[in-house]
Structure 1
Amino acid sequence: MPAHAFVDESSRGGYLLCAVVLLPADLNPARRLLRALCKPGQRRLHMKHESDGRRREILSAVSQLGIEVRIYRTKLDGRSERKARDECLRVMVQELIDQCGVDRMVVESCDQDHRDNQVIREMVLKAQAEERFVYLHSAPANEPLLWLPDIFAWAVGRGGDWKRRCGSGGIEIREIKP
């Protein structure tokens, strides 16, 4: 069954690119849950700006969704974040197409969208998936499902109890060698 992926990054002790994979039937229930977690006047969830109590509340709620989370992590070792992002993005796109059956990917928009598009297009062509894989960039305020990779990447990046709060299953961490 086709799936959708939502992608965001985190930079903590290296570079992390997080993809959250959802089936179409799970999209709207997950959006409703995320919107319900927003406080009045809050346009989006962003773990960097939440208190520890809110972080626990958010992780407790989203860990119940039973979604697939894939983290692509690499060390910077003097390399630019852009180079690390390209390496993670290449592996991620290939695996989302080949292993997860993803046919639609939404990446959090930032000042790197043009370069992202070049790397993604390269991998889509390599996988001969032009007819079955679409991708776009979106602002997190417009797509609540982009809050999920932010939440999971933040928690995994922090490690310890925060990572444990993500739930026992469904998170796969891939170490990408430079």
Structure 2
Amino acid sequence: MAAARCPSGDVTVARKALKGVLLPGQERLHFNHERPARRKQILEVITGIHLLVDLYRADRDTHADRRQCLEAIVRDCASSAERLVVELEESTYEHDRRWLRDATRRFGCHETLRWDVLVAKADPLLWMPDAVAWSWMRGGEWRRAVAPFCQLRGL
């Protein structure tokens, strides 16, 4: 799972930059559906945004692993983030909301960290972790393109 950090003062500019690479009729970017040339173009825009992406690796793709990743994200942003937006996964929506609520209480940020679970087209900033995670997992030149602004985080 990937979590992109964007300073609050850069959010509007970052959203505008990402919307700027949408093709006519496209509601959102989904890296898996893009051609290699488009992926490179999108990564150039993301690189220009100057963000940091935390990567969390679970051994499997289970509810328990997703929960661990979400809890680690809350833990790592508890003291500095104002808002956390998680991409909606229909099959885990209710779990995600409960896990996020519990994690913000556990890490003492339930009054300072706002969080939302949204569909990807609702916030262009959700497109960045998708693109970076895809690139990291693909390896090779794709990983090298995103490695300068990625860091592996523990669960």
Structure 2 equivalent of residue 146 of structure 1 = 126
Q: Give the counterpart letter for 2:124 in structure 1.
A: P
The total of aligned residue pairs comes to: 154
Mapping of 1:7-156 within 5 angstroms? Answer: 17-76=1-60, 80-98=61-79, 101-111=80-90, 112-156=92-136
Structure 2 equivalent of residue 8 of structure 1 = none
Query: How far 1:140 moved relative to its partner?
Result: 1.2
Structure with bigger helix share is: 2
**SS of equivalent to 1:102:** coil
Q: Give the counterpart letter for 2:5 in structure 1.
A: V
Structure 2, gaps ≥5 residues long: none
Q: Give the counterpart letter for 1:42 in structure 2.
A: Q
> Contact 2:72–2:154 at 8 Å: present in 1 too?
no
The runs of at least 4 consecutive aligned structure 1 residues that moved more than 2 Å come to: none
Once residues 154 and 59 of structure 2 are traced to their aligned partners in structure 1, the CA distance between those partners, rounded to angstroms, is: 9
> Contact 2:83–2:114 at 8 Å: present in 1 too?
yes
Once residues 133 and 66 of structure 2 are traced to their aligned partners in structure 1, the CA distance between those partners, rounded to angstroms, is: 14
**TM-score, length-scaled by structure 1:** 0.82
Structure 1, gaps ≥5 residues long: 1-16
**TM-score, length-scaled by structure 2:** 0.93
Structure with bigger strand share is: 1
Backbone CA RMSD of aligned residues: 1.3
> Contact 1:35–1:144 at 8 Å: present in 2 too?
yes
Is residue 2:148 matched to residue 1:164? no
